Structure 1
Amino acid sequence: MVDEAPDLLEVQLAARLSQLRAEHGWSLDQLARKTGVSRSTLSRLERAEISPTASLLGRLCSAYGRTMSRLLAEVEAEPSPVVRAADQPVWHDEESGFLRRSVSPPHAGLRGEVIEGTLRPGADIPYDAPPVSGLEQHIWVLDGAVEITANGQAHELATGDCLRFRLWGSSRFRNLGDRAARYAVLIVAP
């Protein structure tokens, strides 16, 4: 986690995370038990004192039953039906080497979304559980190679390959190559 001055998105995200916890009626201790994230980290996150990693956001999304795209969209303005490339929100987790672009930010009334992920060489991002059980994902590798583990089964994917699955358990995204890997993820909520 990075200790830099938060940008507006991080401040809004922190406020939304605090609001979600309040909506569920959970104390910081209860959320810590549900996510395996320390109470102090959760507190600092909700005060925008630290930036969340992809793994940390994944744990919180799982606890709140949201995809990461939905959570990020909740802190942004209502999406337009056309999202220009320059206006697509980009989130970077420097610690894990993950760059995430919301190609089609989700809309409350729609179930599908598209994101673009880029993993630097050696990046390894594990997720303990899906944000929503039974989430359908299509992962299309645009450049490079990645290993995707879903529900305990590992799949090595090269440029042009596509993997489709419904996620019920843990997952892991790894770049085993010596160059950045870029992929599209099409997500469909159950």
Structure 2
Amino acid sequence: MGEVDQVEAQLDAADARLAARLAGLRGEHGWSLDELAKRSGVSRSTLSRIERGEISPTASLLGKLCTVYRRTLSRLLSEVESEPARLVRAADQPVWTDATTGFRRRSVSPPHAGLRAEVIEGTLPAGATIDYDDPPVPGLEQHLWLLEGSLRLTVQGETHDLEPGDSLRFRLWGTSRFDCPGPTPARYVLTLVLP
């Protein structure tokens, strides 16, 4: 098996574990697909296809499901991985890419039992936008530090234009929007702290 085939097999396995975990979460709550569709605003057919591993969810769609399940995206993704070590080598940091927007999310310091914070590195391509309807956890504390590019971040209706070196800190209770006006990708570090 070549290197490309191994990477594709690992991605397929990760998608399968994510699909199984999402189906498991719905089962833990005792919800039908119709009930989850009603709570999340995602169609029943899309939810069914995701849980069967037929399609890979987008960042925005996962954000909706995380809100319903009261989890951060990092926490959900960590639940499909093995228990993270205290020392997380760069090569071992889970990376997830949204095939629709090209958004790339590296879990630099993944969620860990007993710890409230996690650190991610996000890279949003020029021209890409991600909308989140609700926070995964109401009152989630966030600290964003922009490393490269420019980023327009709208938090609960208030828009902030960030340039390299700028930081924005807030507690999230409502909608948020990440927009990279370009011409280069926006790369940032985001620290999430559970309330």
Is the shorter-chain TM-score for this pair beyond 0.5, marking a shared fold? Answer: yes
The CA distance in 2 between the partners of 1:166 and 1:152, in whole Å, is: 13
Is 1:124 equivalent to 2:129 in the alignment?
A: yes
1:183 to 184, 188, 191: 188
How far does the alpha carbon of each residue in 1:90-145 deviate from its partner, in whole angstroms, 9 at most, with x for none? Answer: 00012112000000110121110000000000010000000000000000001111
Kindly provide the amino acid, as one letter, of the partner of residue 92 in structure 2: D
Q: Between Structure 1 and Structure 2, how many residues are aligned? A: 187
Does residue 133 of the first structure (1) align with residue 138 of the second (2)? yes
Give the aligned residue type for 1:112: A
Q: In the alignment, is residue 11 of structure 1 matched against residue 31 of structure 2?
A: no
Moved over 2 A (4+): none
Quick check: 1:152 aligned with 2:160? no
Structure 1 vs Structure 2 CA RMSD: 1.1
List alignment gaps of at least 5 residues for structure 2: 1-7
State the distance in 1 between where 2:102 and 2:95 align. Answer: 13
Q: Is 1:28 matched with 2:33? A: yes
Alignment-derived partner of residue 46 in structure 2: 41
Residue type of the alignment partner of 2:12: D
Q: Equivalent pairs: percent with the same residue? A: 66
Deviation by residue 1:60-97 (Cα, 9 ceiling, x = unmatched): 00000000000000010000001111111100012112
Corresponding residue for residue 81 of structure 1:
86
State how far apart, in whole Å, the 1-side matches of 2:138 and 2:27 are. 22
Greater helix share, 1 or 2? Answer: 2
TM-score by length of structure 1 reads 0.96
Spell out, residue by residue over 1:37-81, the C-alpha distance to the aligned partner (whole angstroms, 9 max, x if none). 000000000011000100000000000000000000001000000
Q: 2:113 aligns with which of 84, 108, 114?
A: 108
> 1:161: which partner in 2?
166
- TM-score scaled to structure 2, two decimals? 0.94
**Distance in structure 2 (CA, Å) of the matches to 1:182 and 1:94:** 17
Letter in 1 for 2:188: Y
The amino acid of 1:163's aligned partner reads L
